Amino acid sequence: SNPLKEPPKITPDSITIGGKSYPTDKFTNATPTILEKTTRQLHQIPTHPIAIIKNLIESTFPGFKQYDNFSPVVSTKENFDDLCFAEDHPGRAVTDTYYLNEKVMLRTHTSAHQLQVMTESDKMLITADVYRRDEIDSSHYPVFHQMEGAQLFDAKTAVEDIRKEIVADALNTTGSIHTTDATVITPENPKQDCHDEAAMLATVDHLKHTLNRMVRALFAHEKDLQVRWIDAQFPFTSPSWEMEILYQGKWLEVLGSGIIKQDILRNAGKPDKIGWAFGLGLERLALILFGIPDIRLFWSQDERFLRQFEPGTIQKFKAFSKYSPCIKDISFWSTEGFHENNFCEVVRDVAGDIVEDVQLLDEFTHPKTNRRSLCYRINYRSMDRNVTNAEINEIQEKLREEVVNRMKVELR
């Protein structure tokens, strides 16, 4: 069994999560609602949009070692210190981060696992749920999912190795992409002193090439995908960029990336390597690709959400109402020439858009009279308010009358 799936235990003195206990202190601010989210592991559910995107992206990184089962509980050293965050970096504040205690927290990004994974691999993808105290709106939620990727090269042979790889890959690439890849190094977004300029520029080319290829594959249906690279800053990369894609007339930030700070590679025992890393938001891509209107839907346990998706395919989300249903059945002896579509037409005439769906519940033929009986279940549900049983009873009564009038059936 997966310890991450066990419900957390919360007492005033300690928090037990993933099979481990942590004493609380005056920094503790992780709430039960947030801690319960750690058991969901949406990226592990094969039919969930987050997992579908994860798997599609992973397929564009052949040969990368995949990690997706790290506990969300990390040390402040792993989340901040190891990544060269300054002592007073705002991300460390209790207003921005969920702490279990002074030294233990819920990771705010997948970069928290970079150092650990770099000691054992040169090509890695890390997927995980991340936690941030943030504003509330349709595109922000205190829990979301990131995928971290990194690739390391031998610093001495990077220029040659990368050129060969990009040339070989270009032969396999299909589809066009419009991107501003011209790399300009400025004092605000500098090269690290320890790096050879040619090796660094080759690594940047490889980073942009790899990520352009990734979005190209995800947006296969988009004929003219527009991508741009914007200068950025992260404590653990230099130089750094964010990738933005043009979506419905707006530039949307998808990921942060850059050349890994050499101190991190030294700490990972790999001083002779040079490498790139990126961290992308899976919800951002899933919202666009599946056309999901609200980030809270990813957490829905409603079958009407979950049953819409299939592994390996991106299909557009069909909206459903958030309001409660009112269910009514109607049974009648059918007549010759009865057609379900005609019945539905009467339902539409009488009830309009308040009907969410009509389903044949039961059907049988009487052995003696040979008459056919049908029972339909009508699911009434408004798109914008809760309906009352009284008002639906009235509509249902009208429907019973109209079905008899127009279809000449006999109610049972």
| Interacting residue ranges for ligand FA5, rule: CB under 6 A | 109, 111, 132, 134, 140, 144, 146, 148, 234, 237, 240, 253-258, 277-281, 283-284
Residues facing 246 on adjacent strands = 251
Measured from the CB atom, is 72 or 281 closer to ligand FA5?
Answer: 281
Measured from the CB atom, is 283 or 356 closer to ligand FA5?
Answer: 283
Reduced 3-state DSSP string for 161-188: HHHHHHHHHHCCCCCCEEEECCCCCECC
Residue 383 identity (one-letter amino acid): M
* 59: number of Cβ within 10 Å: 11
Residue reference for tokens 């709106």: 137
User: CB of residue 128 vs ligand FA5: minimum separation in angstroms?
Assistant: 11
Measured from the CB atom, is 24 or 237 closer to ligand FA5?
Answer: 237
User: CB of residue 43 vs ligand FA5: minimum separation in angstroms?
Assistant: 14
Measured distance CA(240)–CA(251) in Å, rounded: 18
User: CB of residue 163 vs ligand FA5: minimum separation in angstroms?
Assistant: 23
User: CB of residue 285 vs ligand FA5: minimum separation in angstroms?
Assistant: 8
Measured from the CB atom, is 3 or 90 closer to ligand FA5?
Answer: 90
Measured from the CB atom, is 238 or 334 closer to ligand FA5?
Answer: 238
Q: Of the candidates 334, 336, 340, 300, which has an alpha carbon nearest to the alpha carbon of residue 319?
A: 300
Q: Do 300 and 306 contact (CB within 8 A), yes or no? A: yes
User: CB of residue 165 vs ligand FA5: minimum separation in angstroms?
Assistant: 20
> What token pair was written down for 291?
């056309």
Measured distance CA(338)–CA(383) in Å, rounded: 30
Measured distance CA(257)–CA(241) in Å, rounded: 5
Say if strands 225-234 and 237-247 run parallel, antiparallel, or are unpaired: antiparallel
User: CB of residue 92 vs ligand FA5: minimum separation in angstroms?
Assistant: 14
User: CB of residue 311 vs ligand FA5: minimum separation in angstroms?
Assistant: 23
Reduced 3-state DSSP string for 241-261: EEEEEEECCEEEEEEEEEEEC
> What token pair was written down for 61?
């990184």
Measured from the CB atom, is 212 or 240 closer to ligand FA5?
Answer: 240
User: CB of residue 99 vs ligand FA5: minimum separation in angstroms?
Assistant: 18
Measured from the CB atom, is 28 or 151 closer to ligand FA5?
Answer: 151
Measured distance CA(298)–CA(267) in Å, rounded: 37
The set of residues, in sequence order, having a beta carbon less than 8 Å from that of 332 and lying 6+ positions away, is 373, 374, 403, 404, 409, 410, 411, 412
State which residue has the least CB distance to ligand FA5: 281
Measured distance CA(172)–CA(151) in Å, rounded: 20
User: CB of residue 129 vs ligand FA5: minimum separation in angstroms?
Assistant: 11
Burial of residue 71 (number of CB atoms within 10 Å: 0-12, 13-18, 19+):
middle
Measured from the CB atom, is 132 or 328 closer to ligand FA5?
Answer: 132
The set of residues, in sequence order, having a beta carbon less than 8 Å from that of 161 and lying 6+ positions away, is 153, 154
> What token pair was written down for 165?
């790889």
In this structure, what are the phi and psi dihedrals at residue 96, rounded to the nearest 5 degrees?
-110, -20
Measured from the CB atom, is 61 or 343 closer to ligand FA5?
Answer: 61
Measured from the CB atom, is 130 or 201 closer to ligand FA5?
Answer: 130
Say if strands 410-411 and 355-365 run parallel, antiparallel, or are unpaired: unpaired
> What token pair was written down for 134?
């943030």
User: CB of residue 300 vs ligand FA5: minimum separation in angstroms?
Assistant: 17
